[in-house]
């Protein structure tokens, strides 16, 4: 009999509520012979206030043994900006070398979009997760004075760029349209831009069936609202990926349905799956949060671990559920979770 050994990090705000529904759907979809074991970790604002710790070496060791990690949300207004982001979320992505940050955008039937004319949207952003301006390189001199200088260094390596670009090409190759777009700003950020562009062009030779193009990040935001159907797979750097995936989520139904995976394709460390949304403290504890993004993150988690049929069953359930509920009164967090659990159970 098989087993799925999951680390669960509910986190802050609505994290607890949405993760509960994600686990409910996971239990319902898993084949009988798979033994699901979950271990909950209490990371986030509460832990930080109680101990001053965000993510210790011992924590990382404890997480390491799992097949994957499911995270709800981390972040609270009571903690200064950057402490939990750098001290937990980014620390985990870097420690476990989550270099493929996978963010699919699909406008499902019945889902509202701010764009006129309900365009077709079905693309995936492969965001680099361990380099770029996210490395924490940089510093400040003469802090707080009128002569302060603060720098942020974007670090880009051939090693880091090539592996994520190759991953994106493979994903494009596996999709019907087989199209990959590089998004960067190589006309201004010429050092990093040339590295990305050269490696992209080099790896392209290994994937002759994949159609490629290049767009500057500023222009990409225009296409995302005027012609999102032009995109199939996008590969981009850590910061550009952060920005365009929020926009992508907004146009394809909002962050209530946007899932993501922080993936280490080598399997050397567990990959981590989380909704794109944050902890939304304003609605926490009220049963108002939409667990759909977490449920879809569970689907990405299952696909990553080889449970393709189960992943597809979750995505179909979400699609049917959203299609049928259009125009109906809003449901509570657990009502949505229950409905999805029933659907995937079959």
Ligand X SMILES: CC(C)[C@H](C(=O)O)[C@@H](O)C(=O)O
Question: Is 197:236 a contact under the CB 8 Å cutoff?
Answer: no
Q: Give the Å distances, CA to CA, from 215 to 59, 101, 185, 232.
A: 40, 19, 8, 13
* Positions 56 through 115 that interact with ligand X (CB under 6 A): 85, 89-90
**What contacts 273, CB < 8 A, 6 or more positions away?**
68, 69, 70, 71, 259, 260, 261, 262, 297, 298, 300, 301, 304
Q: CB neighbours (10 Å) of residue 42?
A: 10
Q: Which of 24, 91, 185, 237 is catalytic?
A: 185
Provide the 3-class DSSP secondary structure of residue 131: coil
d(CA 174, CA 329): 38
Relative to beta strand 233-236, strand 179-184 is: parallel
Q: Does 217 bind its own copies (CB under 8 A)?
A: yes
Select 146 or 209, whichever has its Cβ closest to its own copies. Answer: 146
Is 170 strand, coil or helix? helix
Angle between the N-to-C axes of helices 333-345 and 15-29, in degrees from 0 to 180, rounded to the nearest 10: 10
Select from 60, 162, 166, 283 the one that contacts its own copies (CB under 8 A).
Answer: 162
Query: What is each CA distance from 209 to 86, 148, 159, 169, 305, in whole angstroms?
Result: 39, 51, 24, 10, 27
d(CA 31, CA 70): 19
User: Which residues in the 182-221 window bind ligand X by CB under 6 A?
Assistant: 187-188, 218
284 annotated as a binding-site residue: yes
Least separation, in Å, of the C-beta of 240 and ligand X?
11
The mark string for 316-345 relative to its own copies (x by CB under 8 A, - otherwise) is ------------------------------
156 binds its own copies (CB under 8 A): yes
Residue 244 within binding range of its own copies, rule CB under 8 A: yes
Tell me, yes or no, if 76 is annotated catalytic.
Answer: no
Nearest CB to its own copies, comparing residues 159 and 309: 159
Q: Nearer to ligand X by C-beta: 136 or 267?
A: 136
Q: Which two tokens stand for residue 46?
A: 């509460």
149 binds its own copies (CB under 8 A): yes
CB closer to its own copies, 135 vs 334? 135
246 is in an annotated binding site: yes
Residue 218 catalytic? yes
Which of 79, 203 has the CB closer to ligand X? 79
Cβ at position 27, least distance to ligand X in Å? 26
Q: Residue 307: helix, strand or coil by DSSP?
A: coil
- Distance between CA atoms of residues 314 and 294, nearest Å: 11
Of 42, 218, 227, 316, the catalytic one is 218
Active site includes 39? no
Contact 167, 126 (CB under 8 A): yes
Contacts to its own copies from residues 178-207, by CB under 8 A = 185-195, 197-198
Residues carrying an active site annotation: 134, 185, 218, 242, 246
Enumerate binding residues for ligand X (CB under 6 A): 85, 89-90, 187-188, 218, 242
Binding site residues for substrate, as ranges?
93, 103, 127, 218
Enumerate binding residues for its own copies (CB under 8 A): 81-82, 85-86, 90, 113-117, 133-134, 136-140, 142, 144-159, 162, 185-195, 197-198, 217-219, 221-222, 224-226, 239, 242-247, 249-251, 254-255
């Amino acid at each position: 009999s098989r087993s799925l050994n999951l680390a669960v990090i509910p986190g802050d705000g609505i994290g607890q509520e949405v993760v509960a529904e994600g686990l409910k759907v996971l239990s319902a979809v898993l084949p009988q012979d798979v033994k699901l074991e979950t271990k909950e970790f209490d990371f986030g604002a509460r832990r930080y206030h109680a101990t001053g710790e965000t993510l210790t070496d011992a924590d990382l060791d404890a997480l390491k043994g799992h097949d994957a990690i499911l995270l709800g949300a981390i972040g609270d207004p009571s903690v200064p900006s950057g402490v939990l982001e750098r001290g937990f979320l980014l620390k985990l992505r870097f420690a476990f070398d989550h270099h493929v940050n996978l963010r699919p955008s699909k406008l499902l039937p019945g889902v509202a979009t701010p764009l006129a004319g309900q365009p077709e949207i079905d693309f995936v952003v492969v965001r680099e997760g361990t380099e770029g301006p996210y490395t924490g390189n940089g510093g400040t001199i003469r802090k707080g004075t009128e002569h302060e200088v603060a720098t942020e260094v974007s670090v880009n390596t051939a090693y880091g760029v090539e592996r994520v670009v190759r991953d994106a090409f493979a994903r494009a190759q596996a999709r019907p349209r087989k199209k990959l777009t590089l998004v960067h700003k190589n006309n201004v950020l010429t050092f990093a831009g040339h590295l990305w562009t050269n490696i992209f062009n080099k790896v392209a030779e290994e994937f002759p069936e994949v159609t490629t193009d290049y767009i500057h990040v500023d222009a990409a935001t225009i296409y995302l609202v005027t012609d999102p159907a032009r995109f199939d797979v996008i590969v981009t750097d850590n910061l550009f990926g952060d920005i365009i995936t929020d926009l992508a989520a907004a146009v394809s139904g909002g962050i209530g349905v946007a899932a993501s995976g922080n993936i280490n394709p080598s399997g050397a460390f567990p990959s981590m799956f989380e909704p794109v949304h944050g902890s939304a403290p304003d609605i926490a504890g009220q049963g108002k949060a939409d667990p759909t993004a977490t449920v879809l993150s569970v689907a990405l988690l299952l696909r990553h671990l080889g449970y393709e049929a189960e992943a597809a069953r979750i995505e179909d359930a979400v699609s049917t559920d959203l299609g049928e509920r259009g125009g109906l009164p809003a449901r509570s967090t657990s009502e949505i979770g229950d409905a999805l659990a029933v659907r995937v159970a079959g």
